[in-house]
Amino acid sequence: MKITKYTIQRLSKYQRIAKECCDNGTERISSKYISEKLGLSASQVRQDLNYFGTFGQQGYGYNVCALYDNLSNILGNNIRKNIIIIGAGNLGRAIAKYKYLSRYGFKIISIFDNKPDMIGVNIENIIVDDIQNLENFMKNNQVDICVLTASTKTISDIVNIVKNNGCKAFWNFVETPFKVPEGCIVENIHLMDSLQTLSFNNSNS
Amino acid sequence: MKITKYTIQRLSKYQRIAKECCDNGTERISSKYISEKLGLSASQVRQDLNYFGTFGQQGYGYNVCALYDNLSNILGNNIRKNIIIIGAGNLGRAIAKYKYLSRYGFKIISIFDNKPDMIGVNIENIIVDDIQNLENFMKNNQVDICVLTASTKTISDIVNIVKNNGCKAFWNFVETPFKVPEGCIVENIHLMDSLQTLSFNNSNS
DNA sequence: TAGATTGTTAATCGATTAACAATC
DNA sequence: TAGATTGTTAATCGATTAACAATC
């Protein structure tokens, strides 16, 4: 029973609905309710959740707070994940300031840049560090996730340094493809691809 | 011959590779080359491109600059698309400052917020406008795409105002689901879903 | 010409949906 | 009990891959 990547992508959405309902005092919800909120089929919701256990009850539905707790555990929200950001540009700064990171256990521990006028700048109580210090930092800290926001010629070198020092997960905003070392996990957010997709669909509908 | 949404999402990636090769003087590329750059199969690249025309030649491959031009036309890069941004927070500002928008024909024409201390602020030569003025602005300007970055209780109202005044395309960064009016096109970027997916995959691999 | 590589159909693979027995 | 709704298998749908004739 292999869990597909699409199922995993939806877990966070189920969690959000469970939280919303739990917060507003709802006791139970049906797969139909969840599916309508998200524009999915009820069947899909049930099948997705069943990969991880039997959280529902026939004739009753899902207890929302229990479902939320279960999904939080599955997603590891209670475990702290240390993050570093490569690139202190607009995007890097926006991510560093993103207010929902802590709710899910994410913690920015450093930001790196190569521009002299960025190094030393304070962002959310983190002093932007020189990219030259990356390797040294990696050797002295546990880093779980590396966020790539800066499109530099040395992106492959940076990825290799990070990988070779124990972090294999990359949240990548850089559009230019780079060589992904064996064993790394990359989750891409390509803003321009997304916007171009929207624009195409808008012009051809 | 229906073009799938996945094909459309890849067009922008093909275009980027074509541009890169065109810029550095490469004359032709094969589907195999493109596929290796992107981690896809050559078969998929050929099939995707063939939905839009016969851009390649047997035994030769694809002329990169011609391919780039064709993809630019398909994606409508030469047509100006007017964009408004709802929310002048970190994310809204990062998008407004995103340097690649103009290359693809996108133009930010206004930014709206509801916080008194944001209204009037200058972002990239655009003065943040009061969300109260949204409807009036819509009536006097052609808006092609609306970017949603602010999670407010009135998000549905905002979407309806925009929709009812001629813009049906939404680039949505707001995680909380909202009712999408009939006929609208929504392209979602859910940062926390993406980061949670990465984190899950990292912990379960 | 021979080698390379596309265009395009058919086969395969994988994800979603439908159906319904189980059971609260 | 009757109604509601899950868990789970089977059927369907859709996307990717393989294969190869066409042809540069």
Residue B1 — pLDDT band, cuts 50, 70, 90?
low
In angstroms, the CA A191 to CA A58 distance is 42
Encode pLDDT of B141-155 as tens digits.
999 999 999 877 799
Alpha carbon distance B16, A184 (integer Å): 23
Give me the mean pLDDT over the A133-162 stretch: 95
Token code pair at residue A54: 């039997």
Cα angle B151, B152, B157 (rounded to 5 degrees) comes to 115
Collect all residues with Cβ–Cβ distance below 8 Å to A168 and sequence separation of at least 6: A183, A184, A185, B202
Q: Is B202 on the interface with A (CB under 8 A)?
A: yes
**A170, A151, A101, A6: which is closest to B16 by C-alpha?**
A151
Provide the pairing of β-strand A169-172 with A145-148.
parallel
Query: In B, residues 21-40, which contact A (CB 8 Å cutoff)?
Result: 37-39
pLDDT (0 to 100) of residue B178:
92
Tell me: pLDDT of A153 over 80.
Answer: no
Q: Is A163 left (phi over 0), alpha (psi -120 to 50) or beta?
A: alpha
- Tens digit of each residue's pLDDT (9 = 90 or more) over A76-88: 999 999 999 999 9
| Contact (Cβ atoms closer than 8 angstroms) between residue B18 and residue B68 | yes
Asked whether B150 and B86 are in contact (CB, 8 A), the reply is: yes
Distance of alpha carbon A36 from alpha carbon A38, whole angstroms: 5
Pair A102, A128: CB distance under 8 Å? no
What does the pLDDT read at residue A1? Answer: 64
Nucleotide in closest CA–C1' contact with A56:
D6
Q: How far apart are CA A84 and CA A165, in angstroms?
A: 13
Protein-proximal positions, strand D, CB < 7 A: 2-9, 14-19, 21-24
Q: Which pTM was predicted? A: 0.96
In this complex, the answer to whether residue B13 has its CB under 7 A from any atom of chain D, a nucleic strand, is: no
Assess contact for A186 and A170: CB atoms under 8 A. yes
Query: Alpha helix (H) ranges present in B40-174?
Result: 42-50, 64-74, 90-96, 134-140, 155-164
**For residues A185-192, average pLDDT:** 97
Nucleotide nearest to A57 (CA to C1'): D6
To the nearest 10 degrees (0 to 180), the angle between helices B31-38 and B5-23 is 110
Instruction: List pLDDT tens digits, range B76-92.
Output: 999 999 999 999 999 99
CA B79 – C1' D11 distance (Å)? 45
Q: Does B52 touch chain A (CB under 8 A)?
A: no
